[in-house]
Amino acid sequence: MVDEMTVNADANSELTSEQKSQTRKYLIFKLNDNQYGVPLSEVKEVIGLPSCTFVPGSPEYFLGLINLRGRVISAIDLRSKMGVDSSSRNLKRPAVIITDIGDITLGCVVDSISEVMSIGKDQIDNHLEVKVNGDSDFIKGIARFQDRSMILILDLKHAVDVSDLIRHRAG
């Protein structure tokens, strides 16, 4: 975590004023050892993972229902949803990223939250050639840093698409 902070500081100091205007804030989180980022503007809030209520008949990636201050929302396991290898799951500090997808408020469960980071547009490579763990469909771009670390920029709306769950209810 400390390393990343310094990376962040370095990256910022090199930005010219023109670049700064093209900078957006991202929430950085971890799945396995990979770092992912989502635009902060798409994040409503982040909470610790409360207990989940199992919903019969739901797919594996659907963790269940959680209580968000009196509202009941669905928790999606981002790992399982994106097909990220779950064998080395490290859930020491799991967190839920609350976001609105259309009319639906969803909670996306991630391994841990790292920080909020400003990333310039020019730091993000949108032309992906390498497939990463089978989750490339959801990846909008890769932000690369001088210390060779990188952050995968996630298309959250695409990643937690739940349209397969929405069907016409009988009655």
Partner 1 sequence: MSDDFLKEIQEGFLLEADDLLEQAEGLFLNLEKTDVDHRATFDHLKRIAHNFKGSGKAVGFDELSSFCHSLENLLVALSSGSIGLNQKITGLLLECNDVLRSDIRTLTQDKLAVLDHDDLKKKLDKALAEYSSPETNHEVTALPTSSAEVPQDHKTEKANQNNPSKKSGNDEFIKIPLKKIDDLLNTFGEQVIFLSALDFYKEDIVAHKEDITRVVFNLKRIAFDLQQSTLTLRMVTLKSMFSKLERAIRDAALMTRKRINTIITGGDNELDKVIVDQLSDPLIHMVRNSVDHGIETSELRAQREKPVIGTIRLNAQREGGAFVIEVSDDGGGLDSDRIYQKGIEKGLIKEGQQMTRNEILELIFENGFSTKDAASELSGRGVGMNVVKETILSLKGSYEISSEVGKGTTFRIRLPLSLSLFNGLLVMVKNEKFIIPSSQVQEIVKINDVEQLDIVGGNRVIQLRNEVIELMDISDNLAKPCDNIDDSNYKKNMVLISNVEKTKIGFVVSQILGIQRIVQKPLSPEMTACPGASGVTILGDGNPAIILDLRVFREVIQSNNPNRALAI
Binding-site ranges for partner 1 (CB under 8 A):
50-51, 53-59, 62, 64-67, 70-74, 104-106, 162, 165-167, 169-171
Closest approach, Cβ 154 to partner 1, in A, equals 19
Closest approach, Cβ 74 to partner 1, in A, equals 5
- Cβ proximity to partner 1, 61 vs 138, nearer residue: 61
Closest approach, Cβ 157 to partner 1, in A, equals 14
Tell me whether residue 153 is exposed, middle or buried, using C-beta atoms within 10 angstroms of its C-beta: 0 to 12, 13 to 18, 19 or more. Answer: buried
> How does strand 112-120 pair with strand 124-125?
unpaired
Closest approach, Cβ 144 to partner 1, in A, equals 35
CA dist., res. 26 & res. 36, Å (int) = 9
- Cβ proximity to partner 1, 6 vs 67, nearer residue: 67
Nearest to 45 by CA among 97, 95, 94: 97
- Cβ proximity to partner 1, 35 vs 99, nearer residue: 99
- Cβ proximity to partner 1, 74 vs 114, nearer residue: 74
| Phi, psi dihedral angles at 95 (to 5 degrees) | -135, 160
CA dist., res. 106 & res. 124, Å (int) = 26
Closest approach, Cβ 2 to partner 1, in A, equals 35
User: Across the strands, what pairs with 37?
Assistant: 28, 153
